Amino acid sequence: MTTLHWLDKPKNQGVTWGVPWRRGTVPAGTPFAIKDGTPVQSWTTATWPDGSVKWSAHAIGPGAPQAEYELVPGETSTAPGQPIKVSEQDDGVQVGTGDVTWILTKPRLIQSIRYGEREVVRDVRLVSLKQDGPDEDGDRTRRETTAEVERIVVEQRGPVRAVVRVEGRHGDWLPFSVRLYFYAGATDVRIVHTFVWDGDPDRDFLAGLGLSADVVMTDEPHNRHIRLAGPEGFLTEAVRGLTGLRRDPGEEVRRAQVAGESVGEIPNPEVSQRLHLIPRWNDYTLDQSSADGFTLRKRTAPGHGWVTIPAGTRAPGYGYVGGAGGGLGFGLRDFWKVHPTRLDIRRAATDLATATVWMWSPSAPAMDLRYWHDGMGQDTYAEQLEGLEITYEDYEPGFGTAHGIARTHELTLRVHEATPSAEALAEHAEMLNFPAQLAASPQRLHEAGVFGSWGLPDPEHQDLEDRLGFLFDYYVRQREQRRWYGFWDYGDVMHTYDRDRHTWRYDVGGYAWDNSELSPDLWLWYQFLRTGRADVFRFAEAMTRHTGEVDVHHLGRWKGLGSRHNVQHWGCSCKQLRISSAIYRRFFYYLTADERTGDLLDELAQAEETFLAVDPLRKVRTDVYTPDSHALSVGLGVDWGALAAAWLTRWERHGDERARQRLVGTMTDIAALPYGFLTGNALFDLSTGRFDTTRATISVSHLSAIFGLPEICAELIDLDLDVPGFEKAWLQYCRLFLATPDQQAAEVGQPLTGISLVQAHSRLAAYAAARTGDPELAKVAWRKFFVDEGDQLNRNALQRETHWHLTAVRSPGVLMPIDEAPFVGTNGAAQYGLAAIQNLALVPEHRTHLGGGTAWSSPDEPS
């Protein structure tokens, strides 16, 4: 039995979550139930090599939420009182969730939504605006397009949860996929929309991207209601307002209208006989142009002037249009965080109003994805390497294209029998932005033996726990103070800090957006696993959504590859699996069963073929090499770690025998190499899925083990896949990387070069110490963690002697008041976090207290 708790707080909302199981404890095909009888739908998302369930996924519908649930394997779940009904026709699908019926018919997204016998909504569709030039071009034109659905697929059909995938294109470009999530008894649908950018950056400019729905309006104008959410509450208006008039319609009439109820007969004839003279407000717009402000306006009809409404700061992105007889709630998650966004209500005074949620606001400048500089003469590899030396940007003509990048948004539509109360609307807005999420406890997750080497917080080492907390809290603070928000940016963090300007190096080549460099994704997810903190989960979720979509090419020449850190997320010519790696996405997928993340993992089903597209080492090679399908150069660190994560995930999710053979085969080959992982690179044959094992050279890189290799190797060794020599090869690498030159030479005939990022690699020594029981190696791990040869975090800690701290920086030297920790960069923070977590899990008893002390203080006096 597994106890489940809410991440934030209980919500009356359908929810899906994942649970891991220790190997061999839950046989395939085992049913599941909730102990209190709550109907649950269950399925398997991963299996262990013996076929037993490794991860299961579960869904319950809305209802009075319990504080906790007990999930019981081996018992059959009760059926919901109103099970979902899914029926398929030639041109679409009909889904019944109880009182609400959803009819999906091509070429639109949803043809009709009915509440009981009444049609409330019709023609839900995706809309876009395409502009043929940048805003500065005076002769530009805009063209509006309604997307066409080409394919509808039912992925789940109940009884508790149904999922329908819809695919199509926004006109002649922008392929999209949409998943619609339905729960038994629910009156809302969760919509996950993904589009892939495939335009020409010099002539294609996205000027608007939205979801529109027509709402049937049958009530009199004064019984029609508009609600738009602000930071603290809702704009509360009627299409024909009866408050504030010169003649009073009566207190009950005014109260009813403000409450969203039918006003009934208006007793005052001085009002009832003059209704035609009261303006009817037809159109409303809430425009969130930045993370700091939105504007509101309304008008009586097209062709007439807009009237401004008091503006605000951060809108939750939720609205309602309808009447006492019913209407539609609609919204976009993270509305202000993914600006520029907009909510529109149009034609509210007519028989058919339109609500539009704009994921890119038409009021904003058109999306401009042109490269950010002209190349500055870097036409040859030699010139590009010179550029790398000064700005850390790996530029190459033609590589800095956004072609194939994607973005995913989460939206909601909810139908109502009557205008909901302000309290109900506030609850719906919160459920949109902080959707219900159930999770097992950190203790329970740890007991399942998943995700390699990690442990629970240890009060015996509170100073390290405090520092882990300091680093996470600092990035939360920096995201807010630096406004790391926006359509393409939200979810990512910056790479390196500029002490002189008191800002992150947002405009300096490869020092700007991080793009998963040195695995901040892993650090955040491991910190969530061990703490269960909701704020860590939400931060990691946003990063997974961003890095899996924006930093990766999903079609075209570099499909399946990600882009290294840059001023623009897609700008770097270094296209590698180290960014698109499955190891960064697996956590979110298994914890939530999110199908879109599953798509990203499936994109890597044959990730090895990407090595035909581009040679990662092309600019620094001293040998002659052209990608050959029978002899592809693959690094045994960054590259193979990503391949192994993709193959393992494919095998455990789908039982893919090809993936298993390639995984086990290459593990066998690494063990057979004379120097194992120390070899650095090996030649891979696509046709056989095996390495050439004849190479007998040594080549070590400081990058090999900092993009998930230690984590995936720990998982593979835990699986005990009967690959003789693999663990020995990995332990050799772990032992020798931080060994003395004499020790290295004694074992392999030469000292290793390329040794750096010492603190990060301390966890390799810790892993080897834990596996071999070597206490001296464990002491080396802790010494290298605390007192190393160049890690900024620890140098600072020793200089300060007692604690890390923030410094308050105020005007006039900075644009906005900020609190900085100049010694923190994302490379160091991520690897410090991973090393601390794994060292504490592996060899806590051997720690020496070098560099200890309190990890947090409030900001110093302003500088």
Backbone angles phi, psi at 348, to 5 degrees: -65, -20
Q: Are 113 and 106 in contact (CB under 8 A)?
A: no
Nearest in space to 561 (alpha carbons), one of 653, 643, 629, 635: 643
What is the per-residue pLDDT for 115? Answer: 97
Residue 209 lies in a domain: yes
Q: Are residues 699 and 655 located together in one domain of the fold?
A: yes
What φ, ψ does residue 753 adopt, rounded to 5°?
Answer: -110, 165
Q: Give the whole-angstrom CA distance, residue 735 versus residue 743.
A: 10
Q: Are both 576 and 613 inside the same structural domain? A: no
Q: Are residues 249 and 261 in the same domain?
A: yes
Least confident of 547-561, 618-632, 636-650, 846-860: 846-860
**Can you list the pairs that 495-504 forms with residues at least 24 positions away whose Cβ atoms lie under 8 Å?**
495/565, 495/825, 495/826, 495/827, 496/825, 496/826, 496/827, 497/820, 497/822, 497/824, 497/825, 499/822, 502/809, 502/813, 502/814, 502/818, 502/820, 503/814, 504/478
The whole-number average pLDDT for the span 93-120 is 97
The 3-state DSSP class for residue 555 equals coil
Q: Is the peptide bond before 812 cis (omega within 30 degrees of 0)?
A: yes
pLDDT of residue 859: 63
Look at residue 787 in the predicted model and tell me its pLDDT: 76
> Measuring CA to CA, how many Å separate 313 from each of 134, 231, 286, 423, 714?
28, 7, 11, 21, 46
In a domain, 521, yes or no: yes
**Residue 44 β-bridge partners:** 56
pLDDT digits (tens, 9 = 90+) for 158-199: 999 999 999 999 989 999 999 999 999 999 999 999 999 999
Range of the domain at 56: 2-73
Q: How confident is the model at residue 353 (pLDDT cuts 50, 70, 90)?
A: very high
Whether 861 maps to a domain, the answer reads: no
> Is 400 within a domain?
no
Do 648 and 720 lie in one domain? The reply is yes
373 in a structural domain: no
Contact call for residues 542 and 535 (beta carbons, < 8 A):
no
Token output for 366: 């058109």
The Cα–Cα gap between 480 and 313 comes to 14
30 shares its domain with 130: no
What value does the mean pLDDT take over residues 116-125?
97
Model confidence band, residue 863 (pLDDT cutoffs 50, 70, 90):
very low
681 and 729 co-located in one domain: yes
List pLDDT tens digits, range 48-72.
999 999 999 999 999 999 999 999 9
Mean pLDDT is lowest, of 74-78, 583-587, 598-602, for 74-78
Cα 735 to Cα 744: distance, rounded to the nearest angstrom: 9
**What's residue 850's pLDDT?**
61
Structure tokens at 421: 């109360």
Q: Measured on CA atoms in the order 854, 856, 857, 863, is the torsion positive or negative?
A: positive
In this prediction, residue 804 carries a pLDDT of 81
Per-residue pLDDT, averaged over 741-770, amounts to 96
Q: Same domain for 593 and 612?
A: no
- Per-residue model confidence (pLDDT) at position 579: 97
The token pair that represents 264 in the structure block: 């009934």
Mean pLDDT, residues 592-599 taken together: 98
Tokens 């070429």: give the residue. 107
Q: How confident is the model at residue 796 (pLDDT cuts 50, 70, 90)?
A: low
* Residue 657 located in a structural domain: yes
Confidence of residue 139 (pLDDT cuts 50, 70, 90): confident
Interval 682-689 mean pLDDT: 98
623 or 518, which is more confident: 518
Same domain, 42 and 175: no
pLDDT at 854 over 70: no
Examine residue 568 and state whether it is found in any structural domain, yes or no.
yes
Please determine, for residue 856, whether its predicted confidence score (pLDDT) is greater than 50: no
**Distant-in-sequence, close-in-space partners of 715: CB < 8 Å, separation ≥ 6:** 450, 451, 452, 648
Examine the domain organization and report whether 669 and 695 are in the same domain: yes
Tell me if 674 is assigned to some domain: yes
Task: Return the amino acid letter for 523.
Answer: W
Q: What average pLDDT is seen over the chain?
A: 95
Confidence class of residue 795 from pLDDT cuts 50, 70 and 90? Answer: low
The pLDDT assigned to 803 comes to 63
At 798, the pLDDT band (50, 70, 90 cuts) reads very low
Position 465 scores a pLDDT of 96
Count up the domains in the chain and report the number: 5
Both 599 and 521 in one domain: the answer is yes
Residue 789: predicted pLDDT:
62
Q: Based on the domain organization, do 641 and 681 belong to the same domain?
A: yes
Percent of the chain with pLDDT over 70: 97
pLDDT, residue 802, reads: 45
Which of these three, 604, 638, 668, is where a domain ends? 604
Render pLDDT for 3-44 as a digit per residue (tens, 0 to 9).
999 999 999 999 999 999 999 999 999 999 999 999 999 999
Provide the pLDDT for residue 851. 54
Mean pLDDT of 643-666: 98
The pLDDT of residue 858: 53
Question: What's the token pair of residue 157?
Answer: 């059909």
- Alpha carbons 340 and 336: distance in angstroms, whole number: 8
Q: Which residue would you say has higher pLDDT here, 324 or 113?
A: 113
Q: What is the mean pLDDT of residues 122-135?
A: 96
Of 51, 73, 95, the domain-final residue: 73
Are 612 and 742 part of one and the same domain?
Answer: yes
Which of 735, 755, 775 is at the close of a domain?
755
Q: What is the mean pLDDT of residues 810-823?
A: 92
222, 234 in Cβ contact below 8 A?
A: no
pLDDT range class, residue 855, cuts 50, 70, 90: very low
pLDDT in tens, 437-476: 999 999 999 999 999 999 999 999 999 999 999 999 999 9
